[in-house]
């Protein structure tokens, strides 16, 4: 790679090593063991807790022995998304990295910069003899992407430091000082399968090619939700005649906007031509509606080999109505901060099991009362549909501290380096800072990082130039903490 900034080269080399190790959420054992071995080989002490969060201690540089301990924090897991035609196996295949016009990208999969770049930064820092720093603790948590469960399991004596730099933000030059809290809702709709009526043929309705993205960072962009697109199509078909649902599948993760969804349906053979016309017409309508947000959106109806078991007409109608009514997108904008999404929902996944359809959604809000209100709405809707609902414990919002000494220090260093004020913001995504801050009294925190676009999707990429700029800022910040 033709890169001038020497530390950027080093960081990318470490990132490529990290990307050789499978690390989907709940599968962090290999990366944890690799990092612990790296620590041992380089003379650093390391320990894990009961859920395999990892802490590596790096001694202070000469002259910084009495400086306060600084925690650099990131997570070991990643969202494992791939395009429909990709053969990538996240359980064993490395993720190759390529340079494309100033951006690091993967090929048809998520890149893993969220949050592998934090690990790479930490390893480069620990071995760099030219960057003076205070005593460091590298905290690498597990299972951040599926509910921040690693941070939730942290015990109050695991860390010594009370200054925390969370390297999980995605805009260089932006300091994040607050974030949304969140809860998941799991809904189960039971059904009694019946034999397909005589004279009915099976078809597959496929909605795909949508942009997807991060359900917090990108929710305001009104990108198409594949489950909603599919539901709208099924509703259109059912309004013109009988339709029996055999299965419905869509989405992949609670924090990713669904890009693909499909359903196997049965309908009278005589209705197939009209149905195909309706799907083709709706495809054009939807493509026009989402031309800017989802230019590759596709919708099609093809013949399929279906099982001989379907839902009844009434149960099919109940499932479609429920998914039609299910909230998705921005629910409330903040009244205090212009342009900030306060509360939202991501209709994340739907899948068909034995005599049941399972639906998962993820709610976010910086206002915990509004978060509970939206979640209660979903639970009420589920009860009306005769469904079972389970609400997760969730995680708290991170309330900003605009008088933070760390924030003041960061702004001073940034101004001195770049001659301009940094952007200070609160985000709608979830960060581990809120949970960690609740466990450690007096923890002064900020979230920072290089620029990453389209996280949680196969279009994820990281700006190479921003890696070097972020490194220079981080090095100067650590040098100033004495």
Which residues are the active-site residues? 77, 144
Q: Are 189 and 203 in contact (CB under 8 A)?
A: no
**Cα–Cα dist 353/342, whole Å:** 34
Please name which of 423, 476, 463 lies closest in space to residue 447, comparing C-alpha atoms: 423
The residues, any chain, with a CB within 8 Å of residue 3's CB and separated by 6 or more, are 9, 12, 99, 464
Residue 257 token pair: 């906007």
Return the structure tokens found at 348. 């994340």
Cβ-based burial of 401 (10 A; exposed 0-12, middle 13-18, buried ≥19) = middle
CA atoms of 250 and 76, how far apart (whole Å): 26
Residues ≥6 apart with Cβ < 8 Å to 99 = 1, 2, 3, 105, 464
3-class DSSP assignment, residue 279? helix
CA nearest 475: which of 200, 64, 88, 159?
64
Task: Give the H/E segment covering residue 115.
Answer: helix 113-127
Dist. CA 414–CA 34, nearest whole Å: 34
DSSP characters for 31-64? HHHHHHHHHHHTT-EEEE-TT--EEEEEPPPTT-
For 27, 97, 166, 198, the CA distances from 398, given in Å and listed in that order, are 27, 33, 13, 57
Helix (H) / strand (E) element for 228: namely helix 226-238
Q: Do 446 and 424 touch, CB atoms closer than 8 A? A: no
101: left (phi over 0), alpha (psi -120 to 50) or beta: left
Closest among 474, 476, 479, 464 to 8, alpha carbons compared:
464
- Residue 266 C-alpha from the chain's centroid: 35
């Amino acid at each position: 790679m033709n890169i001038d900034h020497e530390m950027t080269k080093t960081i990318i080399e470490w990132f490529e090593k990290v990307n050789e190790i499978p690390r989907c959420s709940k599968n962090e054992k290999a990366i944890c063991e690799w990092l612990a071995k790296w620590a041992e080989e380089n003379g650093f002490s390391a320990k894990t807790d009961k859920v395999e969060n990892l802490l590596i201690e790096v001694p202070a540089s000469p002259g910084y022995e009495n400086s306060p301990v600084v925690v650099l924090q990131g997570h070991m897991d990643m969202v494992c998304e791939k395009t429909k035609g990709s053969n990538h196996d996240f359980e064993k295949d490395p993720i190759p990295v390529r340079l494309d016009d100033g951006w690091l990208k993967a090929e048809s999969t998520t890149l893993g910069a969220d949050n592998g770049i934090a690990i790479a930064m930490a390893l480069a820092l620990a071995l760099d003899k030219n960057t003076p720093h205070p005593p460091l603790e590298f905290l690498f948590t597990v299972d951040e992407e599926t509910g921040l469960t690693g941070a939730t399991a942290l015990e109050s004596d695991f860390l010594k430091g009370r200054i925390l730099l969370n390297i999980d933000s995605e805009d260089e030059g932006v300091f994040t000082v607050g974030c949304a809290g969140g809860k998941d809702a799991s809904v189960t709709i039971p059904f009694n399968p019946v034999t397909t009526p005589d004279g009915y043929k099976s078809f597959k309705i496929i909605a795909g090619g949508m942009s997807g993205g991060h359900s917090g960072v990108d929710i305001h962009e009104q990108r198409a939700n594949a489950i909603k697109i599919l539901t709208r199509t099924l509703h259109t078909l059912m309004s013109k005649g009988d339709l029996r649902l055999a299965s419905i599948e869509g989405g992949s993760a609670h924090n990713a906007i669904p890009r693909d969804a499909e359903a196997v349906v049965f309908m009278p053979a005589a209705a197939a031509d009209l149905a195909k016309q309706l799907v083709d017409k709706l495809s054009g309508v939807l493509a026009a509606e989402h031309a800017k947000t989802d230019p590759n959106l596709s919708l099609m109806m093809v013949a399929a080999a279906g099982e001989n078991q379907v839902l009844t007409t009434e149960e099919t109608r109940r499932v479609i109505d429920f998914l039609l009514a299910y909230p998705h997108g921005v629910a409330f904008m903040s009244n205090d901060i212009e342009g900030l999404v306060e509360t939202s929902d991501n209709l994340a996944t739907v899948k068909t099991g034995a005599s049941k359809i399972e639906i998962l959604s993820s709610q976010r809000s910086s206002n915990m009362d509004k978060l509970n209100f939206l979640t209660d709405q979903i639970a009420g809707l589920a009860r009306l549909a005769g469904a079972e609902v389970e609400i997760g414990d969730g995680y708290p919002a991170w309330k900003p501290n605009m008088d933070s000494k760390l924030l003041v220090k960061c702004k001073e260093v940034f101004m001195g380096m770049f001659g301009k004020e940094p952007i200070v913001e609160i985000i709608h995504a979830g960060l581990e800072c809120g949970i960690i801050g609740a466990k450690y009294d007096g923890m002064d925190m900020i979230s920072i990082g290089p620029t990453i676009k389209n996280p949680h999707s196969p279009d994820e990429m990281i700006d190479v130039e921003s890696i070097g700029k972020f490194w220079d800022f981080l090095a100067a910040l650590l040098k100033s903490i004495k």
